[in-house]
Amino acid sequence: QYDSDYNRAVITFVGTPEAVLNANIAAAKKAIELIDMNKHKGQHPRIGAVDVCPFVPAQNVTIEECKDLAIKFAEALTKEGVPVYLYEESATKPERRNIDNIRIGEFEGLKETIKTNPEHKPDYGPSEFHPTAGATIIGARYPLISFNINLGTTDVKIAKKVAKRIHQR
């Protein structure tokens, strides 16, 4: 599903763990080949061409199996020169459980601080962004429910205030 305002797509794979892993690797390689984050514009916070990849347990798959898939996918992306941050159930530091803490500075800011600030050192891969693909956030997490609300205002400040209140819950 592509969102033109955010300039990003959400792709969902369902299948055996091995099939899901292989599909993610193939899709990520194509995104790394085609997307140049230096030219990317969009409203959604992001740090890379393959911005985030959650592994969510479903029918007969455990969160532990999803953690293993996240590590295997992280290892595959590092072979492409992409640094990886682990989040949610895969996080290696408590502050990295929340994706927003990893995305601070987004692509433009984090591509500099990753080199100089030990707090921004990735969990896997090089300590510098891939020149065009940036970095990726990967992890096992439980299902997430998202929804959109139409507001009766054009005031962006009000919209951001409402979003922040809802997001914190």
CA quadruple 51, 16, 67, 138: dihedral, nearest 10: 0
User: How does residue 138 score in pLDDT terms, banded at 50, 70 and 90?
Assistant: very high
* pLDDT range class, residue 98, cuts 50, 70, 90: very high
Which of 40, 44, 120, 130 is catalytic? The answer is 44
What secondary structure, in 3-state letters, does the chain show?
Answer: CEECCCCEECCCCCCCHHHHHHHHHHHHHHHHHHCCHHHCCCCCCCCECCCEEEECCCCCCCHHHHHHHHHHHHHHHHCCCCCEEECHHHCCCHHHCCHHHHCCCHHHHHHHHHHHCHHHCCCECCCCCECCCECEEEEECCCCCCCCCCCCCCCHHHHHHHHHHHHCC
pLDDT of amino acid 51: 92
Distance, in Å, from the CA atom of 30 to the CA atom of 50, rounded to the nearest integer, reads 10
Please report which confidence band the pLDDT of residue 163 belongs to, taking 50, 70 and 90 as the band edges.
Answer: confident
Q: What is the pTM of this model?
A: 0.85
Write down the mean pLDDT value for the chain. Answer: 89
20 pLDDT exceeds 80? yes
Q: What confidence tens digit (pLDDT) does each residue in 118-136 have?
A: 999 999 999 999 999 999 9
- Residue 62 lies in domain: 2-167
Active site residue 44: yes
Q: How many domains does the chain have?
A: 1
The CATH number linked to 11 is 3.30.990.10
